[in-house]
Structure 1
């Protein structure tokens, strides 16, 4: 991430912490980058009952603030506020703990001690540095070393 993107991200985080964050809404992620259609500031919010109304409210607050402080040096950019969605990335052991009981896809950096590289199952527990995943099709728990996970996402099982 370049210096400008990092500066904008820090400013938005500071504004969010002072003006928006409460026990219902938390900041999940911020991305500021150039895309084919131009510059985009994407803010992802999360919480137990965060939906369209909260996204619209946060978008208005951030948009008004950005107009006042003028920290983005480009005349044209898009502001997008959304949730990370049902297939959100699980990025830390704390998030694995938060999502215990949820269905998850895990891709390993390399084949693990079970000879596997992919998993789909329910997050059963987190112990030390290990995620315990219950794979329903095999009726078995797998102990997965967090440091060897390449990517993990919540998933919807049909």
Structure 2
């Protein structure tokens, strides 16, 4: 099964538990692959959501004839330093600090750190110390929220509100 086929199987299972698929990664291990699934809800997914969906997915994936036999399944929330899988996930995160790594250097720069100030269906603008850069989402290798942990500790449970 490829990534899209796995998404086709797992997405309805996740949605059946009132969650949505944030992202999916397939990591090739030496002996067996790891399927890492990130789930979220509008209120924030919790450990029980992850546990229930993990159980449901183990059952559902076992029923799939075309599915790889031996794998490791991980289900978690995207976390505070969430990886961005789709450009529309930037909604609600404008102004947050991000780390971005490109597949190929742009303006002789491959790694960016700064605030994302704008996005559309194909590109986003990241404001860094050395200027603003327009980046095609299709050119990124990795885009992840880069939270300031000092602010998180200082603000405690009020962080992000």
Q: Normalising by structure 1, what TM-score?
A: 0.67
- Structure 1 unaligned runs (5+)? none
Q: Which of the residues 146, 149, 153 maps onto 1:155? A: 146
Do structure 1's residue 30 and structure 2's residue 20 form an aligned pair? no
- List per-residue Cα deviations over 1:75-108 (Å, max 9, x = no partner): x433221233333332443233352232101234
For residue 56 of structure 1, report the CA deviation from its aligned partner: 0.3
Runs of 4+ in 1 over 6 A off after TM superposition: none
Q: CA RMSD in A?
A: 3.3
Structure 1 residue corresponding to 2:135, chosen from 131, 145, 148 = 145
Which residue does the alignment assign to 2:159? none
Matched, 1:46 2:36: no
- Is residue 66 of structure 1 aligned with residue 73 of structure 2? no
Q: Give the Cα–Cα distance (whole angstroms) in 1 for the partners of residues 64 and 121 of structure 2.
A: 44
Indicate the structure (1 or 2) with the bigger Cα radius of gyration. Answer: 1
1:69-148 alignment, distance < 5 Å:
69=64, 71-72=66-67, 74=69, 76-108=70-102, 109-112=104-107, 116-127=109-120, 129-135=122-128, 138=129, 142-146=132-136
Quote how far apart the aligned CAs of 1:68 are: 4.0
Report the TM-score when normalising by structure 2.
Answer: 0.66
Which residue is 2:153 aligned to?
Answer: none
Q: How many residues align?
A: 146
- The answer to whether the Cα contact below 8 Å between 1:107 and 1:118 also exists between their aligned partners in 2 is yes
Greater CA drift, 95-104 or 25-34: 25-34
Rounded to whole Å, the distance in 1 between the matches of 2:31 and 2:90 is 35
1:90 aligned counterpart, secondary structure: coil
